[in-house]
Structure formats: structure tokens, C-alpha cells
Amino acid sequence: MKISHLILICLFLLFSGCGLKPQQYSTPQNNLAPTDDISFQTIFEGQIDAPLWLFAVTDDEGQIVLSAEKDQEIIMAKFDPNNPKAKLNWKTIVSKNEVEGVADHWHVFAHGYHYFVFSQPKADSAYAVKVDKNLKRVAMNHIVDRYEVPKNERPPFGGEYLITNDMFLVQESEGVTAAFFLPTIGHKLFRMDKDLNVFETKNIGSGKLTHGNGSSAKNGFDVLASDTIMFLQQSGVQLLQYDKDWNFVTARELVDFDNQSIGMVSGIYLDDGSLVLHSRTNVNAYGRGEMPPPPTPGVLTDDGGKIGRYVFDKNGKLKSTEYLYEGTKAHRPHTALLNDLLITTWDSSDGGTTLRMDKIKM
């Protein structure tokens, strides 16, 4: 079956537990085999010469364009799926010298252009960028600059200024929207027109809808929400659905395994309504109600894990799970779809990024 319907779902980075508790499954159910309905044939998996934050994004001409970060700069290159080992011609889109460094970005294709949002290293300033299909930058706008969070929106542990290094970016009918993590609430949205002019700011979340990072849309925004990004703490995933004006519509529980942390989530819908979800998964997390030990002073802890793939039917029932990477050092999986080609990227704490392509059989 030709797969023509794509909704790219952005990731959710939840730094505090969500009030809507996902359905909890017993541990044996986390090893479901691929179903007869949907299967994946790996045609390529290899290292990409980019250090971290690797995105693969498809445009309206069927091209695959990669973006990544290197030396605090954003770089882009076109990728040929028929010659995946070919040397990439990376082009610098945003240099460290002009913005004092890049730390975290998000990349989408919308309205005939590539759009980015990125944070500066101090995490109190962010820019939006517009790039054409020839990888030429055509606009950049400083959309957040030490944005003072209203006192009634601040968490109890501080947060005078908006945090900018945890975000998502999504297409809207008249432009794009960048959303920045708002601890204990969800996100603060910066809605922009196609030329990167901000025309509205709005909060989503709070209460039972407290959340962290991500979204995508067709007739509304579907948000994959994990309980927490903390890899030592058990975390499940739920689906929160919003309309085109970011009004909450409904929530659906997806998955929660005992003593597993499922976070850094991304995914896509197939044209039959199935959902393919990728995550960084730690299978040795502390259970709900258990307190992880404090970090050792002066010692950096790697919060990597496996790269998990979870397939749900159109009703949200978990049909299969598998691990694309079995180690403990992988981070930030991203997901794209080109016809029947599923593209998954991730980076690892020991250096390097990985791109995997699977043919989807339905």
C-alpha cells in the first residue's frame, strides 16, 4: 500500500510528571513482535558525519534534507536515499560568530521553505530562520530575547526568564509556530506568519494538561507527551490533541511500562491511521514513587538509552515494539516519512549521528 498521508509529530520533553496518568502495562507486554499488518525492512543504517541533533526532513519535491549542529552552528545538506554513503555537502546556515552560538534547534518544511527555531547557549534567547530549497537562508528573526515570564506562570524553583533550549516548531496554515517549555505548565507559543513575524503568544498546558515539548498538525495538532525527560524515572507516553487555534480537544493514553523511562519522543502517522513512535528508552528506570539517587558531584551522567520503536493501530492500541539501537548512549530520535520510506535519526553521547531507512510493508 502506498503511504501518502503523513503527520510528523514533534517530540515532547516533559520535565515534570503529567497529571494525566497513562495506562500502565505489565512488563512482559513490552516485547511484542512486529505484526503481519505492518513490517519494516531495513535498507540502510549508517553513521552521518555530523556530531549531534540530526534531523531528516522531506520537502514538497521528494528531497530529503538533513540539518544538524556542529561547533555551535546549524548546518544543512541534501541526502540521496539511493546513494546513502555519498559524501555530504554540508552548508553553514547559521554561524556561531553572528549569534554567539547555537544550542538546540528544531527543523520543519512548510509553505515551500525550510523553517528553523534555535536557542542560544544561555537558553534565554531564540531565533527563527527561513531557508529555501536551495539551502539559501532568506530570513532570520530574533523572536525571544530574555522574555520575562509573568510571576503567576513561574515555577516555584525560579524561572524569571523563558527557557529557550527546549522547544518545538510546527506548521500552521498561515505560518509556523515555535513553542518553548514552560515548567509546571507546558509551553508558551510564539505564532509567526510566513515571514517570521510574531503575531500572537499563547500558553498551552497547566493542570492535568501540563506538558513539555512537541507537535504537528492536520486539522489540529497532535502532541506525543512523555511524563518526563529524566532517564532514571519511569515515564509513559500519551497523545494530547489540540485544534488549529491550540484549544485542547482530547487526550489518549498510549503506553507505560514498569521501570522504563520512555522519553524524547517523535513519530509519524501512516495513511491507515497507524502511529509509529520512536523514543529514547531506559529499561532500568526507577518505578513510580521511587526516588532516584542524587547525582555524584562533579561527575557528568550520560542520560542516553536505547532507541525504541512502538507501533499503534488507529485506535491507539500498542501492536508491536522493538529496539533499533540496543545500547545505553543514544539520544534525540527524529522521524520522517517519504512515501513508503521511514527515516529515523538519532545521536549518541560517544559521538556521531545515525540515520536508518526502513521500507514499510502494509
- For residue 293, the enclosing domain spans 7-361
Banded pLDDT at 178 (limits 50, 70, 90): very high
Q: What is the mean pLDDT of the chain?
A: 84
Percent of the chain surpassing pLDDT 90: 54
Residue 133: what pLDDT? 97
Banded pLDDT at 36 (limits 50, 70, 90): low
Q: How far apart are CA 181 and CA 168, in angstroms?
A: 9
> Residue 147: is its pLDDT beyond 60?
yes
Residue 219 located in a structural domain: yes
Residue 334 located in a structural domain: yes
- The DSSP annotation for 131-185 comes to E-TTS-EEEEEEEEESPBPPGGGS-TT--SB---SSEEEEEETTEEEEEEEETTT
Q: How far apart are CA 182 and CA 88, in angstroms?
A: 37
Residue 301: what pLDDT? 62
Residue 34 located in a structural domain: yes
What backbone phi and psi angles, to 5 degrees, belong to 207? Answer: 60, -130
Task: Give the amino acid at 171.
Answer: Q
Partners of residue 326 on adjacent β-strands: none
> Residue 217: is its pLDDT beyond 70?
no
Greater confidence (208 vs 65) lies with 65
Residue 269 located in a structural domain: yes
Residue 281 located in a structural domain: yes
Residue 190 located in a structural domain: yes
Q: How many domains does the chain have?
A: 1
Per-residue pLDDT tens over the stretch 194-209: 999 999 999 988 888 7
Banded pLDDT at 300 (limits 50, 70, 90): low
Give me the CATH number covering residue 248. 2.120.10.10
Residue 32: what pLDDT? 53
Greater confidence (332 vs 77) lies with 77
Distance of alpha carbon 67 from the chain centroid: 14
Task: Tell me how many degrees the CA angle 50-53-58 measures, rounded to the nearest 5.
Answer: 90
What is the sign of the dihedral through the CA atoms of 206, 207, 212 and 213?
negative
Greater confidence (328 vs 190) lies with 190
* Nearest alpha-carbon partner for 237 in 221, 253, 216: 253
Residue 1 located in a structural domain: no
Per-residue pLDDT tens over the stretch 83-128: 999 999 999 999 999 999 999 999 999 999 999 999 999 999 999 9
Rounded to two decimals, the pTM is 0.86
Residue 2 located in a structural domain: no
Per-residue pLDDT tens over the stretch 275-296: 999 999 989 888 988 887 777 7
> Residue 219: is its pLDDT beyond 80?
no
Lowest mean pLDDT among 8-17, 153-162, 272-281, 333-342: 8-17
What backbone phi and psi angles, to 5 degrees, belong to 74? Answer: -95, 130
